[in-house]
Structure 1
């Protein structure tokens, strides 16, 4: 199974019209307040820090380039070819590599695993955007990419984030210039709750090793001028290490 054609078209359309300047996309916050905050949650659980590191749902590659300065091999993958093209243009020095990947397609996930072997993964705000029928296949793809040694850090907006986003959409002036494309392309933010995300990972044969809450910073700003933060949850998942393993 691969993701629905509607979902694929939505993301191609979104990234095809996304501005190239840094921070112009709603969730394209600086790595220092996104990936840099998230990595310490993952690092205590890594079995091998020298594994390839996959940024799944890399978008324009802002976080991917940050990760490339901290791990020996970093690959940014995205469902949308338009996102991959933008990520490559935004990385003229070739800090990371980028490719289109439908991780919900078993053959594509298996192909990437065959090429790179077990990998550690960063997944920020991807599962909650999937249509419901695509979430379990995507979780299965995550398990394939991790293999027996990889660990995944999954960061997703909490259900409470949806009320925040809907409130912004109902402002008298309408959604902001950064938020409007999300709704215009039919994307559905904050549709998956913590129990559902954890359930999909467990059904894929993974163990949820850790988790908690940490706000997800966006590039939008509130009336006080501070960056808008969405309630969010994080989970670390992987195959449980045998007793006595490091």
Structure 2
């Protein structure tokens, strides 16, 4: 199943209305809090001489960091506007960026044919994907890593909904960054906790390591507390 027109339009409009300012997107955290610790976990199982593909790269903040840890880093995103942000921010640096719909099976296969078995970094993509599209998203991970690559996948857990509800019910309403997420029809923390492991298993992916974590956001509650969303991470191998 391909993504719906509404879903594609929501993401395109979100990124078109997002500035290039660092941290403007609520999930655009400093790599020191995201890609750096995540890549350390992945590198216990992965060869840094391989390419890594950042799926759902957004404006490429994490991809640019991954380019310092792996031989080659490519970020892909459904949104053309996100890819333009990423290319602009890269400013000729080593990270590469392309538009890709993870549910487009032929496009995913074509990327695998070009790059061979690669590592994958995917941060909080499955949980906000449309339910019917989630198996295709996970299948894309399996295809891109093949037998030799490894994947680091981190997804929000149900506990994130409580944090988001608290943020949305602040006396002044949700902060401007979270408000924009809702305004564009994006749906964070939409997957059940048992759905992610099931989808990974159905795609033939083997869990090499996993654990609990939190994904730090770039927005704060009225009392100054940073919004950190509970999550679970997986290091994965293919069949």
Give the TM-score category using the shorter length.
Answer: over 0.9
Residue equivalent to 2:209: 210
- Aligned mates of 2:153, 2:48 — CA distance in 1: 17
Query: Shift of the alpha carbon at 1:95?
Result: 2.2
- Aligned mates of 1:209, 1:28 — CA distance in 2: 27
SS where residue 27 of structure 1 aligns?
coil
- Aligned mates of 1:35, 1:147 — CA distance in 2: 22
Q: Which TM-score applies when normalising by structure 1?
A: 0.93
Residue equivalent to 1:107: 106
For residues 94-243 of structure 1, the aligned pairs below 5 Å read 94-239=93-238
Residue equivalent to 1:82: 81
Q: Which TM-score applies when normalising by structure 2?
A: 0.96
Kindly report structure 1 stretches of 4+ aligned residues shifted beyond 3 Å. Answer: 222-226
Task: Extract unaligned runs of 5+ from structure 2.
Answer: none
Residue equivalent to 1:15: 15
SS where residue 171 of structure 2 aligns?
coil
- Aligned mates of 1:5, 1:142 — CA distance in 2: 22
* Conservation of the 8 A alpha-carbon contact between 2:216 and 2:228: yes
Query: Shift of the alpha carbon at 1:93?
Result: 2.5
- Aligned mates of 1:217, 1:103 — CA distance in 2: 25
* Conservation of the 8 A alpha-carbon contact between 1:104 and 1:139: no
Give RMSD over aligned pairs: 1.3
Task: Extract unaligned runs of 5+ from structure 1.
Answer: 241-246
- Aligned mates of 2:104, 2:193 — CA distance in 1: 24
Q: Does 1:27 align with 2:23?
A: no
SS where residue 214 of structure 1 aligns?
strand
SS where residue 190 of structure 1 aligns?
coil
- Aligned mates of 1:14, 1:145 — CA distance in 2: 27
SS where residue 163 of structure 1 aligns?
helix
* Conservation of the 8 A alpha-carbon contact between 1:178 and 1:220: yes
SS where residue 235 of structure 1 aligns?
strand
Q: Does 1:36 align with 2:36?
A: yes
- Aligned mates of 2:103, 2:207 — CA distance in 1: 20
